[in-house]
Amino acid sequence: YIEHDPTNTNTFKHYLLHSKRILALCGAGLSASSGLATFRGAGGLWRTHDAMSLATPQAFVKDPSLVWQFYSARRQAAFSAKPNAAHLALAALSVKNKNFITVTQNVDGLSPRAGHPPEQLFPVHGSLSTIKCASVFCSYTEYNNFNMALTPALAPSRVSGDGESEQPLTPHVDLPHCPKCGVGMMRPGVVWFGESLPNDLVGSIDDWIDQARVDLCLVIGTTGQVWPAAGYIGACQAKGARVAVINMEIDDDPNLGGVHTADWLFKGDCAEILPDILQ
């Protein structure tokens, strides 16, 4: 009898080889080596920006100018970034295994740009390239809008992404408005705190998990603190899944979702680890 070593990549690779149904839950750490900021932890966005004054529907009603400046800088950073080796490794596994699905909390669009098959990708927190009318009476939505300057006032030269310098307020008339109803203001097509996740995606993921035994759950670059996304780890375990956590700060973050019950813990940059363990 040899004690199980949670850092052993060989036992993982062996198990992966025999795994059929696999779910990956991804977070901001997946895009960290592409140069995009995470939310919590060192250098995280919520360290310099208050989540509740930016990522809630109430914040948008109260100060759409502040919210649009924040998201314009995020859109510009995301659209200029390149997918990294971790996005590519997940895309490659998806092509190879049609029983593999990726639930991503990321809104940066780097997984689709890495060639991840769309039918195996579930972006549960929306996308920065989606913008939609904020009016409850209107359903106007634009997908794949990669325009870095939605209005002249939100052009890259006018919004800085560092979060340090105070931006002058953008007058509301200079923010993007709905071309359909003419009344509503446009807003980012992302899921804010207190909003529900896209019903169709959540339904498909739940169906996929319920369908049959799940062999493996990969928890990649997420603190696993935001619900309901964090719940997919336990849902997979309830269907028999082993769990592997791939994260930069495994020992430093005792609250990290999944670590206490994980079968494998791989500490480091997922852009280095995933190409090795998923090959």
Q: Give the shortest CB-169-to-Zn ion separation in angstroms.
A: 23
Contact 101, 24 (CB under 8 A): yes
138 is in an annotated binding site: yes
Beta carbon nearer to ligand BJW, 182 or 228: 228
Question: What does the radius of gyration of the chain's CA atoms come to, in whole angstroms?
Answer: 19
Q: In the range 105-144, which residues lie near Zn ion by CB under 5 A?
A: 133, 135, 138, 140
Interhelix angle for 270-277 vs 85-96, to 10°? 30
Which one among 36, 83, 223, 244 touches ligand BJW, defined by CB under 6 A? 223
Q: Among 241, 248, 262, 265, which residue interacts with ligand BJW (rule: CB under 6 A)? A: 248
193 lines the binding site for ligand BJW (CB under 6 A)? yes
**Which of 18, 49, 125, 172 is the catalytic position?**
125
Site membership for Zn ion, residue 172 (CB under 5 A): no
125 as an active site residue: the answer is: yes
DSSP track, 35-92: T---SSSTT-HHHHS-GGGTSSHHHHHH-HHHHHHHHHHHHHHHHH----HHHHHHHH
C-alpha 112/C-alpha 131 separation (Å) is: 17
Burial pattern 172-194, b for ≥16 Cβ within 10 A else e, equals eeebbbbeeeeebbbbbbbbbee
Residue 55 makes contact with ligand BJW by CB under 6 A: yes
> Considering CB distances under 5 to 8 angstroms, the limit depending on partner class, which of ligand BJW, Zn ion, none binds residue 138?
Zn ion
If one counts every other C-beta atom within 10 angstroms of the C-beta of residue 228, the result is 13
Q: Please report, in range form, the residues annotated as the binding site.
A: 133, 138, 178, 181
Chain residues in the site for ligand BJW (CB under 6 A): 27-29, 32-33, 38-41, 44, 55, 105, 107, 125, 190-196, 221-223, 225-228, 246-249, 253, 256, 269-270
